[in-house]
């Protein structure tokens, strides 16, 4: 979700990725805003939130592994990731906890120390813990992806020739067919993952025992994804999407074929059909299929138009996309706490509230980007190069 503002007068090589991030973040905001305030505007044939997340994940897969290989510096990569993600993440958690006397925490958030451990690693969803905000689950799969890419990097395996995307697609299908719940559960997963995560990252960043530590982190990520994740087939499908993004980048560079992307996509598309029979009753295969196809089509359109000038608004949304993603829900919940239930309110009141919330969200996201994200990134650079 990292972003860099691009100059729309002279199209940047990565401007289209900013645009996709902006579009993805806006889709997630729309899903929650439409559902809460203007339900008659919410499309029923796709899930806007899942669509936005899939676009984000394709972008991450497209950028992260190749960028790491190009720079070849795991220490810089992880310091950059930590100071890119954690300052805003911790700030948002702090605000939500501070307001919990007024806006109670979600029932899914365990009131125990293991929940703190799960949040410290961002691995909540893959250790079976509920996030403070129900948008934070995506960070778990971003983190799993980073850990797997790190392990692949130190072992010299090039992520992205397509086999990994297919492999996770097969894993998603198998989990959907055979698992009605995570094979393992318990608060121990949060504590074990915190210990391995902390020690492993310390070794990776310091360079001491880096190879062994990176492999251990990769094994941890894979085990959590398949054994303790809240929805194993869904988590594997998300990783298939991310590695499909990497395979697309390899194909663009001329170092890999494109056909594995279509195979992985087909596996991700059909997985929910069998997941229903395994007990995942909430899955809507038609909505899932339309959402996956639209996300893939959006990414393809972005690539096709990547030489064109990107509208400033989309670039700007891409820059603040991480803030937009994390900040919009607390703002929406706070407004609804004051206004009360809006789904059956008069249409003018619904529209007025939706517009007001959108203005607050955009303004609040810019402020957190300006005063939380950017200072955090500058601090990371100073740590990296004192």
Which pLDDT tens digit goes with each residue over 79-123?
999 999 999 999 999 999 999 999 999 989 999 999 999 999 999
Cα separation, 112 vs 190, whole angstroms: 11
Band (320; pLDDT cuts 50, 70, 90)? very high
Q: What interhelical angle do 232-253 and 137-155 show, nearest 10?
A: 50
% of the chain surpassing 90 pLDDT: 83
| Least reliable range by pLDDT among 70-74, 137-141, 202-206 | 70-74
Instruction: Check whether 63 has a pLDDT greater than 90.
Output: yes
Highest average pLDDT, of 150-164, 235-249, 275-289, comes from 235-249
Torsion-angle region of 63 (φ positive above 0: left; ψ -120 to 50: alpha; else: beta)? alpha
Cα separation, 322 vs 53, whole angstroms: 12
Place of tokens 């090039």: 158
Enumerate the domain spans of the chain: 15-384
Task: State residue 10's pLDDT score.
Answer: 40
The DSSP code for 104 is: P
Write down the pTM of the prediction. 0.94
CB 59 within 8 Å of CB 17: yes
Instruction: Check whether 12 has a pLDDT greater than 70.
Output: no
Task: State residue 3's pLDDT score.
Answer: 46
Q: What interhelical angle do 374-384 and 74-98 show, nearest 10?
A: 140
């Amino acid at each position: 979700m990292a972003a860099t503002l691009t100059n729309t007068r002279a199209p940047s090589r990565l401007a289209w990725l900013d645009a996709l991030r902006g579009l993805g973040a806006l889709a997630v905001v729309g899903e929650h805003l439409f559902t809460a305030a203007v339900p008659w505007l919410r499309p029923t044939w796709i899930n806007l939130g899942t669509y936005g997340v899939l676009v984000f994940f394709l972008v991450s897969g497209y950028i992260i592994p190749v960028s790491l290989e190009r720079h070849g510096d795991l220490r810089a990569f992880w310091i950059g990731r930590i100071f890119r993600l954690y300052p805003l993440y911790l700030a948002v958690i702090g605000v939500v906890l501070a307001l919990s006397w007024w806006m109670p925490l979600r029932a899914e958030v365990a009131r125990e120390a293991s929940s703190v451990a799960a949040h410290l690693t961002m691995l909540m969803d893959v250790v079976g813990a509920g996030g403070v905000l129900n948008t934070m689950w995506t960070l778990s799969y971003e983190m799993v992806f980073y850990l797997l890419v790190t392990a692949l990097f130190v072992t010299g395996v090039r992520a992205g020739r397509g086999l990994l995307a297919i492999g996770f697609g097969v894993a998603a299908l198998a989990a959907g067919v055979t698992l009605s719940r995570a094979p393992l559960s318990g608060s121990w997963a949060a504590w074990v993952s915190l210990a391995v995560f902390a020690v492993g990252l310390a070794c990776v960043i310091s360079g001491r025992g880096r190879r062994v530590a990176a492999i251990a982190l990769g094994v941890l990520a894979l085990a959590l994804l398949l054994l303790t994740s809240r929805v194993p087939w869904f988590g594997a499908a998300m990783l298939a999407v991310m590695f499909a993004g990497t395979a697309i980048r390899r194909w663009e560079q001329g170092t890999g074929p494109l056909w594995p992307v279509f195979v992985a996509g087909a596996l991700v598309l059909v997985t929910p059909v069998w997941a229903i029979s395994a007990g995942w009753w909430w899955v809507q295969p038609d909505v899932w299929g339309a959402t996956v196809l639209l996300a893939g089509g959006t990414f393809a359109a972005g690539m096709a138009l990547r030489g064109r000038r990107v509208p400033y608004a989309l670039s700007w949304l891409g820059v603040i996309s991480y803030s937009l993603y994390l900040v919009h829900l607390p703002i929406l919940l706070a407004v609804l706490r004051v206004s009360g239930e809006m789904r059956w309110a008069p249409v003018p009141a619904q529209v007025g509230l939706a517009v007001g919330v959108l203005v607050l969200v955009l303004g609040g996201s810019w402020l957190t980007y300006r005063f939380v994200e950017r200072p955090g990134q500058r601090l990371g650079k100073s740590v990296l190069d004192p």
